[in-house]
Every structure is written in structure tokens, then in C-alpha cells.
Copies of this chain bind each other. A is one copy, B any other.
Amino acid sequence: MENQTAQRISSAQHILIICHISPDGDAIGSLLGLGLALQKSGRRVVMACADPVPEQCRHLAHWESIIQAPRGSFDLIVSLDCSDLKRLGTAYDAQAFADIPIVNIDHHTTNVQFGTLNWVEPTAAATSQMVFGLLRAMNVSLDVDIAMCLLNGILTDTLGFRTSGTTPEVMQVAIKLMDAGASLSELTDRIFNHRPLGTIRMWSRALQEIHLDDRIVWSQITRDMRQSVGLSEDGVSGLVSFLSTADEADIAVVFDELEAGEIKVSMRAVPGADVSQVALALGGGGHAQAAGCTIPGPLEIARSQVLSMLRQSRIKGP
């Protein structure tokens, strides 16, 4: 599929690339990595994401060139790291773009194969890893900026080489990106070693009330808590990963009460458990070990719904 995808993209001239809403470091990393590489190889490229580029991705070169509402005519759309057409959000104008073929490049096991051409590899550690292979198949050489973007994506989705999907092949790709000039230490520092003291204080608040039911450990962040530490940014993904280290739990959940009253649910599971199905059923997505969704409030109702679904899913099994 790598070669077929490379051929399909090589034959296009004016390409719109879109990644999923609520973008993470792999979404933005693969978007910028592919976009910059295709521009370098002489194509007209527009990079888009319906949501703003999050703070923690703004160390990547040219992030400002990602737009939220692409317009114009394209001969190809490339969807990156996105399991479902809906998750392209408003960056995909269903009416205006109806006739444009879509190449769907993704590594989510929950991908619904919505593209004209679908290259979905659930064994890939990150979509950025797939883009690395794609660029090699297209004979596009890397530069520092591209290498930084792709390594950023790999580090984000492997949690810095810590997930079970981190194979020697992933490490080899990382080394090649380092050889191309990407700084591993700069990226790990940016991705994992920086949070405002406010986030640490918010964690402290959230950790004061940890609940453990039936090997599910959970905590919550209320609007009041955010206000009291003066924090608008999230900082939640680190918290749920941290909670999931508890020996006494198989599943960790953080409920985050957003400004508008919706509840952002972040879930982690140990190998053997699976949180992706519950996320999917609630309109979200992700992987067996890390998934999430955003559902209507109020907090108490959202919480009991998710916890009961998680218990159910465990009884039924995957």
C-alpha cells in the first residue's frame, strides 16, 4: 500500500492535507512533515486542521502555515491520522470537496476506511512513521524541519518509546530522523518535560481525590479547579497516563469539564484491556491502550455512564 499511496500522491499537483480535530503531536507532526516534503518536491500544498495548532506543537517549523478553513480547488485530499471523515471536522467541506478523491493514511485500528484509497496500518506506531515510509517510497529527501515533525509524531504516539508498539523498526526510523538532523532531546524536552506550575498544581488537586473502583482508577478536573489554578490549557493527557501507572488498576480515566460544559474523557488501559471500543461507541476514537471522547455533561452523569460502559465492556471482553 505504501507504494500505491506514493504513486497516487505523486500524480497529484494541488493537494489538500488535513489531520483530525483536537490534534495531537502525531496529527500535527505528520501533517507538517508530509506537507513540507510535498512542497519541497514542487507541489502546491495546503495544510489544514479544523482546530488551532495546540501550544505544545508550536515548536515545529511552519506550524503557522496550517489553516483552519481551506478553500479552493484541489485534485487530491490526503487525510492523516484520522479514523473517520467526521473527525476531519469543518476543515473538510463535504459539499465543496465531494468530488475530490481522498487518500486515507492512518494507523488507528478504529479507522472506518472512508477514503478513495485507504492505507491503514494499525501496527504502525504513529502516522508519522507511515509518512516516513511514504517519503522514502516517493524518493523525497528529508530536511531538519521535516525530520523534527516526524520524530515529534513518533515520540508523541509512543509516549517516548514507551508503548508496546515500539519495535526495533520504530527505533530505526527514529535514528534515521536523528541522522537527518532531528534533535531527540529537544523534542522529548518539549513534549514531556514542560508544563506550567499551574498544571502541576492542578494535578495535585485532581490527585487529592483518586477513586478506585473495580480496578478502574479515575479522577476529575472541574471548571472550578481550573479556575483556582488559573489554567485554561489542558494538561490532562499526562495526568491520565500517570494515573494508569497505578498497580491496582487496569484502566485509568480522567474526566475534564470543559468551559462549554461538555466532558472530555481521557482513558488509558494496560495491555490486555481495551478502552477504544467505549471511546468509539461514545463518538470518540483511539487505540486499545489510549482513547478518548467528548460527551455532554453534566459531569456526574457523564462519569457514571462512562464508568458503567467500561465495566460492561470488560465483562463482555473485546
Q: Which residues of A contact B (CB under 8 A)?
A: 160-166, 168, 171-172, 174-175, 178-179, 184-185, 188-189, 192-197, 200-201, 203-204, 207-208, 210, 212, 217, 242-249, 271
Q: How many subunits of this chain does the assembly comprise?
A: 2
Q: Which residue of B lies closest to A166 (CB)?
A: B184
Chain B residues lying within 8 Å of A175, measured Cβ to Cβ, are: 168, 171-172, 175
Q: Which residue of B lies closest to A268 (CB)?
A: B193
Q: With contacts A161-B188, A162-B160, A162-B188 known, is A200 near B243, CB below 8 A?
A: yes
Q: How far apart sit A196 and B245, CA to CA, in the bound complex (Å)?
A: 8
Q: Of residues A185, A196, A244, which shows the largest number of chain B Cβ atoms within 10 Å of its Cβ?
A: A185
Q: With contacts A171-B178, A178-B171 known, is A207 near B196, CB below 8 A?
A: no
Contact status A185-B166, CB under 8 Å: yes
Contact status A246-B172, CB under 8 Å: no
Chain B residues lying within 8 Å of A212, measured Cβ to Cβ, are: 197
Q: How far apart sit A245 and B172, CA to CA, in the bound complex (Å)?
A: 28
Contact status B194-A200, CB under 8 Å: no
Q: How far apart sit A73 and B188, CA to CA, in the bound complex (Å)?
A: 47
Give the distance to chain B from A184, nearest Cβ to Cβ, in Å: 6
